[in-house]
Structure 1
Amino acid sequence: MVKRYVQVGTGGRAEFFYGAVVRDFKDTSDLVAFCDINQTRMDYANRLLEEKYEHPQIATYLAEDFEQMIEKEKPDTVIVTTIDRTHHTYIIKALELGCDVITEKPMTIDAERCQEIIDTVNETGREVRVTFNYRYAPHNTKIRELIMNDVIGDVYSVNFEWALNTQHGADYFRRWHRDKRNSGGLLVHKSTHHFDLVNFWLGTTPETVYALGGLRFYGRENAEARGVTTFYQRAHGSEAAKNDPFAIQLEENDHLRQMYLEAEKEDGYQRDQSVFGDGISIEDTLGVMVHYQNKAILNYSLNAYLPWEGYLVSFNGSKGRIEVRVREQSYINSGGKKEDEGKLEEKSIIVMPMFGEQYEVEVEEGHGGHGGGDPLLLQDIFGTPIEDGFNRAATHVDGAMSILTGIAGNMSLNTGMPVKVDQLVKF
């Protein structure tokens, strides 16, 4: 059976999905329409379909015609890749109109919208899949396997440090993500990956969350405190930006130019804002402590201005310890080759038995982003699923439990108090 798909949102993350559908899954999938607030961006996506993938151009609908699109195109599934604050709008509409949903993470950005999605799934009986590609990365699956196989016994604590560098990390402060009303901040937009991994690895869910953090490096106030005296609001057309290593020049990248710079005339969105400008309301330095239902404790940190990209994680258990170090190829969203996004430069998994010699665990990586995890995710979504003992396919419940850690963290940042996750939504 061939499933019909429409995709709402044709920005930087969209091609990951529509490109795979028309290139690799023609036998099981049929992409029939795009929907967006910006016609120029949809036209560019259609040119990519035709020129890059040799696929006929498809119908386009402006966002206000979403329901008309569903009625006319009769899709089985809606792919949601809009900005985070609008995910719930299209998820809920699609479910109510009889469609299943595949949504980019995070599923949404606050508890109220999360509850609306849960209620709508319960009412309609339709399915929501959240695309956590990190679950499918072979080294992350191997960690799950080691813990499932009781290699270090019961896991009592996890230390997890995520490093974003001054290329990738800075990019969140140039784009719409810099406004917390759009993204929920990095604790929701980015850390949802990481909190989902801990849930996945340990087979548990968060109970209590406490967070600290703030904007320490980016933002005009921090730049002024370091003695910076030259400022600009966006890079395009700015002389000051030409010598700024934090600036991105849209006109110098053909993909970014056509997707964003040429589309500005319709919605006014500026993709190249200064990371040291005004208007940034998200944090760049974060620390979170989580207590889980199985009594494990997580110490988590994220910093978005470091000289390397990747993560360090250690698991302390009743029979030993696992130490993981992963260094990733940094990237700018839509600024380079898709296969470079999350490409591994260095990876090690060390097991330290409580009594015995430590050893390194070998992991065979695949081709594609995130050590071969991206193609596995896409196959699971658009191809013929196979039995998976690791249960990597993420439902709306998994999507909720990942963002609720970040949502609770944001609440804790505001109040200075720990937050009980089970008081945020009801399933």
Structure 2
Amino acid sequence: MAPTLGGRVAIVGTGHRAEMFVRGILARPSSSLVAICEPNSIRAAFYNQLLIDLGAQPVPVYQPVDFKDMLQKEKVETLVVCCVDALHDLYIVPALEAGVNVLTEKPMTTDVDKCRRILETVQRTGLHVTVTFNYRYNPVHELVKRTIAEGKIGKVLSVHFEWLLDTVHGADYFRRWHRQKTHSGGLMVHKAGHHFDLVNWWIDAEPETVAAFGKLAFYGDKAGKEHGWAREYERARGSEAAKNDPFAIHLDQDTILKAKYADAEGEDGYHRDQNVFAPGIGIEDDMSVMVRYNTGTTMTYHLTAYSPWEGYNVVFNGSQGRLELRVVESQHRVPGGTMEDGVSAPPVVGDATVTLQRLWEKPETLPVVWSHKGHGGGDERMLNVLFGPRPGEMKETGDASKQGANERDGAMALAVGIMANESFKTGKFVDIKSLNFPL
């Protein structure tokens, strides 16, 4: 069973994911938030106001340059890393060296060198990193895991995974810092790492070889003009051209987005509302991947970031039958929304279906527990496991309590994304041995 984290907690980064952790920490008497590390004072002030609104005291705010002093001065026991993906290692490594428990948002990091640095620090210190792959805690995903582990379809021989991001959620990655691989590693690392970890976990295997094709097919200036969606503006705020653009997000129309980003841009120049059809976008929106695992299982994977509906289809072909998972998270969303921040974010309204068909038998629809809460209920259950139950809440003792991901899991999910990105460039198969991970 995974150890409970908590105690004196500090958070690095005050983007949208930080709020889930802040609320989760404050809801548990065994933990307390003692510090925030954030270079933007406006966003940090937003979170201190949130603490006050939730009945807690504001906490000290530290600049990144003072991070090590923060760990010592505030006697930090657990660090939660929520900053830009490419910066994770800058906080994970010194925190481990200081003997602090580290919990990081996925992906663990964004490239080979940074991943090696984290893994080498783990080996040197004997401590571990907890990676918050919250989709593992989704009860529907647990059902898939159990069905495969119980041998219902025999040995898994192949997997097909299709993930669809719609033109609200998918477009959002092309408005913000994720649009550059130097920050996010692209959707193969930032988003697909989610999915690659699921497959690694579902089939109890690790990737060996990857081949992939990726392109910017829909967003960006060239594709936008070709398909008739392009508008001529740099960012939506203050732009006449953005007013009739269904892909634009208007920060001033949402109190949370305005407070976190529009009011804070004077400090760091970060624009949260960039044009998704502007020039200079450095990530792909349409990606096809093939993976071979150390068990001999193969997977075909496709990620589309411009679909009219959002969800995913996963098929497992086994020696004794077939298991199919279909999840519809949204079938239609209005233009201008965002899945990541603000009160405008609509709830997940879809459903999930899991179908088992053994050879020579009729298909069976398995009973599912579907939640409309964050990540299909995964966020709430993950917080229960990581920080313990809230008062009056039962502690998770089933599969969720055993499925926390560590640095090896983080590296294996990252490996698929890194190898896919390399294959995009070279057109060749890429072997995991080329990454030289110290595992």
Q: TM-score, normalised by structure 2?
A: 0.93
* 1:199 equivalent in alignment to 2:200: yes
Does structure 2 conserve the Cα–Cα contact (< 8 Å) formed by 1:338 and 1:369? Answer: no
* 1:420 equivalent in alignment to 2:422: no
Q: CA offset at residue 96 of structure 1?
A: 1.3
Residue 333 of structure 1, aligned match among 326, 340, 351? 340
Query: CA distance change for structure 1 residues 266 and 65 in 2, over 3 Å: closer, same or farther?
Result: same
1:15 is matched with which residue? 19
Amino acid at match of 1:333: E
* 1:358 equivalent in alignment to 2:363: yes
1:98 is matched with which residue? 99
Does structure 2 conserve the Cα–Cα contact (< 8 Å) formed by 1:39 and 1:62? Answer: no
Does structure 2 conserve the Cα–Cα contact (< 8 Å) formed by 1:133 and 1:377? Answer: yes
Query: CA distance change for structure 1 residues 66 and 144 in 2, over 3 Å: closer, same or farther?
Result: same
Residue 378 of structure 1, aligned match among 380, 383, 402? 383
SS of corresponding position for 2:295:
coil
* C-alpha separation in 2, matches of 1:417 and 1:175: 30
Amino acid at match of 2:269: G
Matches within 5 A, 1:22-421: 22=26, 24-26=27-29, 28-51=30-53, 53-227=54-228, 230-329=231-330, 331-336=338-343, 340=347, 343=348, 345-366=350-371, 368-383=373-388, 387-389=397-399, 391-421=402-432
Amino acid at match of 2:314: V
**Number of aligned residue pairs:** 422
Does structure 2 conserve the Cα–Cα contact (< 8 Å) formed by 1:167 and 1:332? Answer: yes
* C-alpha separation in 2, matches of 1:337 and 1:6: 28
SS of corresponding position for 2:36:
strand
Query: CA distance change for structure 1 residues 2 and 309 in 2, over 3 Å: closer, same or farther?
Result: closer
SS of corresponding position for 1:242:
coil
Amino acid at match of 1:16: M
Q: CA offset at residue 338 of structure 1?
A: 7.7
* C-alpha separation in 2, matches of 1:163 and 1:2: 35
What is the RMSD computed on CA atoms of the aligned residues? 1.6
* C-alpha separation in 2, matches of 1:15 and 1:282: 27
Query: CA distance change for structure 1 residues 277 and 300 in 2, over 3 Å: closer, same or farther?
Result: same
1:5 is matched with which residue? 9
Query: CA distance change for structure 1 residues 248 and 307 in 2, over 3 Å: closer, same or farther?
Result: same
Query: CA distance change for structure 1 residues 71 and 319 in 2, over 3 Å: closer, same or farther?
Result: same
SS of corresponding position for 2:375:
helix
* Greater mean alpha carbon deviation, residues 380-389 or residues 40-49: 380-389
* C-alpha separation in 1, matches of 2:399 and 2:260: 40
SS of corresponding position for 2:305:
strand
Over residues 20-50 of structure 1, what are the superposed CA-to-partner deviations in whole Å (9 max), with x where a residue is unaligned? 111x212x21110001111111001111111
Unaligned runs of 5+ in 2: 390-394
Over residues 117-158 of structure 1, what are the superposed CA-to-partner deviations in whole Å (9 max), with x where a residue is unaligned? 000011111221000110010100000000000000000000
* C-alpha separation in 1, matches of 2:184 and 2:304: 17
Query: CA distance change for structure 1 residues 344 and 119 in 2, over 3 Å: closer, same or farther?
Result: farther
Unaligned runs of 5+ in 1: none
Q: CA offset at residue 54 of structure 1?
A: 1.5
Does structure 1 conserve the Cα–Cα contact (< 8 Å) formed by 2:136 and 2:198? Answer: yes
Q: CA offset at residue 229 of structure 1?
A: 6.5
Amino acid at match of 1:25: R
Q: CA offset at residue 339 of structure 1?
A: 8.9
Query: CA distance change for structure 1 residues 352 and 392 in 2, over 3 Å: closer, same or farther?
Result: same
Query: CA distance change for structure 1 residues 252 and 223 in 2, over 3 Å: closer, same or farther?
Result: same
Over residues 261-285 of structure 1, what are the superposed CA-to-partner deviations in whole Å (9 max), with x where a residue is unaligned? 1110111000000000122000000
* C-alpha separation in 2, matches of 1:372 and 1:249: 29
SS of corresponding position for 2:242:
helix
Does structure 2 conserve the Cα–Cα contact (< 8 Å) formed by 1:157 and 1:317? Answer: yes
Q: CA offset at residue 159 of structure 1?
A: 0.5
* Greater mean alpha carbon deviation, residues 391-400 or residues 178-187: 391-400
* C-alpha separation in 1, matches of 2:214 and 2:346: 32
Report % sequence identity.
45
* C-alpha separation in 1, matches of 2:271 and 2:6: 38
Amino acid at match of 1:194: H
* C-alpha separation in 1, matches of 2:113 and 2:52: 40
Over residues 380-409 of structure 1, what are the superposed CA-to-partner deviations in whole Å (9 max), with x where a residue is unaligned? 111167555563100111111001100010
